[in-house]
């Protein structure tokens, strides 16, 4: 009787389960996402791979440890961690462009609907006035992140070096 109740519960749960509505979303791990010129997708999420867009992405593009190349339209946000973002000529990004620990390269007549944020990387454009930004531009160069680590590392090196020299001189009687 107990197993009949469990079976009915599982059957009822399976009948009431709704499928995920992610028909136009692409999520990849280790495989490049290519959106051809005639294709339209909603979201593109990629881990350890790249996203190449020649068509249209209506949602967000999120990439971890890979690159983003846009030669079409990205109608919402583009977010990249530890990689580069390249926007070709006459490209549009609907909302924000965010990049951490990588570079951003913008071609001619690129438009970004809201903000560009480049943290610990670089922003390069074909010409200084060749792109439009609807909001703010924040660019923090990489040396602001790596500089303190380098200073602390050099400080530790010199302290250890001087301590070893002190012990050597003391051992040899200088």
Predicted TM-score of the model (pTM) = 0.72
> Residues 129-171: pLDDT tens digits?
678 888 888 888 878 878 888 999 999 999 999 999 999 888 8
Residue/partner pairs of 168-171 with CB below 8 Å, 24 or more apart: none
pLDDT of residue 58: 92
For the stretch 69-86, pLDDT in tens is 999 899 999 999 999 999
Q: Is the pLDDT of residue 20 over 60?
A: no
pLDDT of residue 19: 47
Q: What's the pLDDT at 13?
A: 74
Rounded average pLDDT over 10-15: 72
What pLDDT score was predicted for residue 164?
92
More confident residue, 142 or 119: 119
Structure tokens at 93: 């990004």
pLDDT digits (tens, 9 = 90+) for 29-66: 888 999 998 889 999 999 999 999 999 999 999 999 99
CA nearest neighbour of 114 among 78, 89, 86, 64: 78
CB-CB contact of 37 with 56 (8 Å): no
CA distances from 58 to 45, 124, 125 (A): 13, 25, 24
Averaged pLDDT, 3-28: 70
pLDDT mean over 96-100: 94
User: With bands split at pLDDT 50, 70 and 90, how would you rate the model's confidence at 102?
Assistant: very high
CA gap 70, 108 in Å, rounded = 13
- What is the pLDDT at residue 43? 92
How many whole angstroms separate alpha carbon 75 and alpha carbon 97? Answer: 11
Task: Let me know the angle formed at the C-alpha of 155 by 158 and 164, rounded to the nearest 5 degrees.
Answer: 25
């Amino acid at each position: 009787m107990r197993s009949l109740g469990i079976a009915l519960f599982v059957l009822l749960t399976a009948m009431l389960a709704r499928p995920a509505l992610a028909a136009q979303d692409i999520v990849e791990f280790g495989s490049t996402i290519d959106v051809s010129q005639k294709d339209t997708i909603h979201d593109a999420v990629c881990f350890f791979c790249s996203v190449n867009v020649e068509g249209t992405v209506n949602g967000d593009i999120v990439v971890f440890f890979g690159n983003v190349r846009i030669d079409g339209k990205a109608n919402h946000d583009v977010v990249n961690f530890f990689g580069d973002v390249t926007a070709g000529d006459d490209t549009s990004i609907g909302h924000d462009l965010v990049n951490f620990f990588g570079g951003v390269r913008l071609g001619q007549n690129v438009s970004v609907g809201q903000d560009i944020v480049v943290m610990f990387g670089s922003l390069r454009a074909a010409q200084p006035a060749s792109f439009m930004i609807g909001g703010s531009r924040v660019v923090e160069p990489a040396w602001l992140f790596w500089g303190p680590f380098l200073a602390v590392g050099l400080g530790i090196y010199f302290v250890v070096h001087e301590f070893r020299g002190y012990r050597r001189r003391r051992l040899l009687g200088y």
